[in-house]
């Protein structure tokens, strides 16, 4: 199951930074949770044929070399090294859960469970009990392998209707010959630190007042899933001159307000959100994102007005985030170590929000249809709340991930669902 070779491939700076950022108390992994219906290796009663699923995955390894590579230290940095892939470790059946709530609780526990760094940085778990006649799946990926967009491409490569390897594998997981790397000098390192100094200083600006949303992230996490009709949200957002991504930000800040009030906590006038934006140049890297900081306004009861305000903010900030690229300090190992410490005390960002375009066609795992899927993103530094969304099968599928001692996931999810309903109910202005 996979054959090692002597060839190594240097990790890109963005990918390497995600290895350095991984810590025992803050696992740097991305999770895709889904529900498979009967078909192929899933019986009518929802029992999976694990051997058949492993065989299907094994048939894709040649087209997806990252699946059989591990990370090793090399010359002060890191490299991808081919290794033997043991699918009995990477594709496993786990204990049954008690319905959707049990599935959410399992995902919450997995967000604090490290992936072993001595073997390929992924695993696929099969989870009985998520629903009658259905089986859950959880694909966990260390962030060095993929950001949100690349993770979706990996999912598309693993779960596609044909049941065999696709003609074109996901770019971020394909073994691309490394580009010629410019030799790093002490002077270029200084320039990198200098260019990031301004952004580093801003991390310490006390933009966010003291709030329970910021603080040490504990090991007790909450995860909750929310599904809303994509067309209705898109139409409602468009009526206010906004996008689906703006609608997600608007719903997230309204839900954060509701969660704070439910705990009797004060609501800051602004809750800045860190929002990843895709960069044009990905090359061989699994990570290619800049960061857009959006100061989301609170205290606005009208959904249309809030959407318009947020749309104006994102339209002016997205281009700047793309032009700046990845955070400068995370382009070096020493800088990433400094960044990892700095962000545990920052007061610039109050929550993480990410929206990834999903597959444009229904997916299946070796013939078992993927009926539902949710992305669960890591929370890091001192930011205790994150919301991730993915469009799939006509729905916008969202996952809340939070420190359970700061935010009640179910309360946030209910408020998120309510706010999306308000946005979906907006109608375009009449032009009589």
Q: What is the pLDDT of residues 127-165, one digit of tens each?
A: 999 999 999 999 999 988 877 777 888 888 898 765 444
Q: Which domains does the chain have, with CATH numbers?
A: 9-166 (3.30.559.10), 186-358+379-424 (3.30.559.30)
- DSSP codes, 108-166: HHHTTSPPPTTS-SEEEEEEETSSTT-EEEEEEEETTT--HHHHHHHHHHHS-TTSS--
Q: How far, CA to CA in Å, does 296 sit from each of 43, 254, 421?
A: 46, 9, 19
Relative orientation angle of helices 409-424 and 230-239, to the nearest 10 degrees: 60
3-class state of residue 390 by DSSP: strand
Distance in angstroms (rounded) separating the CA atoms of residues 210 and 215: 9
Q: Kindly report, residue by residue over 64-85, the tens digit of the pLDDT.
A: 989 999 999 988 889 999 999 9
H-run or E-run covering 231: helix 230-239
- Dihedral sign, CA of 407, 409, 411, 413? positive
pLDDT at 168: 33
User: Tokens 């800045």, residue?
Assistant: 272
pLDDT at 233: 97
Distance in angstroms (rounded) separating the CA atoms of residues 147 and 406: 26
The predicted model gives 242-269 an average pLDDT of: 96
CB atoms within 10 A of CB 247: 30
Distance in angstroms (rounded) separating the CA atoms of residues 409 and 414: 9
Q: Kindly report, residue by residue over 176-228, the tens digit of the pLDDT.
A: 333 333 344 555 445 444 444 455 555 556 678 889 999 999 999 999 999 99
Two tokens at 148?
Answer: 């949100």
Residue 283 has pLDDT above 70, yes or no: no
Q: What is the CA radius of gyration of the chain?
A: 21
pLDDT at 360: 76
Q: Considering the entire predicted model, what is its pTM? A: 0.85
Q: Kindly report, residue by residue over 290-336, the tens digit of the pLDDT.
A: 788 999 999 999 999 999 999 999 988 876 655 555 544 455 555 66
CB atoms within 10 A of CB 187: 8
């Amino acid at each position: 199951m996979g054959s090692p070779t002597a060839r190594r491939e240097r990790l890109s700076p963005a990918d390497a930074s995600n290895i350095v950022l991984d810590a025992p108390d803050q696992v740097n992994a991305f999770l895709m949770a889904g529900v498979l219906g009967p078909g192929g290796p899933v019986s009518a009663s929802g029992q999976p044929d694990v051997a058949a699923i492993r065989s299907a995955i094994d048939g894709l390894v040649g087209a997806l070399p990252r699946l059989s590579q591990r990370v090793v230290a090399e010359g002060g940095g890191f490299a991808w090294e081919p290794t033997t892939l043991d699918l009995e470790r990477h594709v496993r059946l786990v204990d049954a859960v008690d319905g959707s709530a049990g599935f959410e609780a399992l995902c919450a526990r997995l967000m604090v469970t490290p992936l072993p760094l001595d073997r390929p940085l992924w695993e696929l778990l099969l989870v009985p009990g998520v629903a009658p006649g259905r089986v859950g799946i959880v694909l966990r990926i260390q962030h060095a392998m993929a950001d949100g967009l690349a993770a979706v491409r990996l999912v598309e490569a693993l779960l596609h209707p044909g049941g065999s390897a696709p003609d074109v594998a996901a770019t971020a997981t394909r073994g691309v010959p490394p580009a010629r790397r410019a030799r790093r000098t002490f002077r270029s390192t200084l320039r990198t630190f200098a260019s990031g100094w301004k952004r580093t200083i801003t991390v310490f600006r006390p933009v966010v007042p003291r709030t329970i949303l910021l603080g040490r992230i504990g090991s007790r996490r909450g995860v909750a899933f929310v599904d809303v009709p994509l067309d209705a949200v898109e139409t409602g957002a468009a009526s206010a001159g906004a996008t689906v991504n703006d609608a997600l930000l608007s719903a997230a800040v309204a839900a954060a307000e509701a969660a704070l009030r439910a705990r009797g906590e004060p609501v800051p006038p602004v809750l800045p959100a860190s929002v990843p934006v895709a960069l044009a140049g990905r090359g061989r890297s699994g990570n290619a994102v800049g960061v857009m900081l959006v100061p989301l306004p609170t205290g606005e009861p009208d959904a249309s007005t809030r959407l318009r305000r947020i749309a104006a903010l994102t339209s002016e900030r997205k281009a700047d985030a793309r032009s700046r690229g990845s955070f400068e300090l995370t382009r070096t190992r020493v800088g990433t170590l400094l960044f990892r410490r700095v962000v545990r005390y920052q007061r610039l960002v109050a929550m993480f929000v990410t929206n990834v375009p999903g597959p444009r066609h229904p997916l299946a795992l070796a013939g078992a249809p993927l009926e539902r899927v949710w992305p669960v993103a890591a929370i890091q530094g001192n930011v205790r709340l994150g919301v991730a969304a993915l469009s799939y099968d006509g729905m916008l599928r969202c996952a809340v991930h939070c420190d359970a001692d700061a935010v009640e996931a179910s309360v946030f999810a209910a408020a998120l669902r309510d706010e999306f309903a308000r946005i979906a109910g907006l109608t375009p202005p009449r032009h009589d």
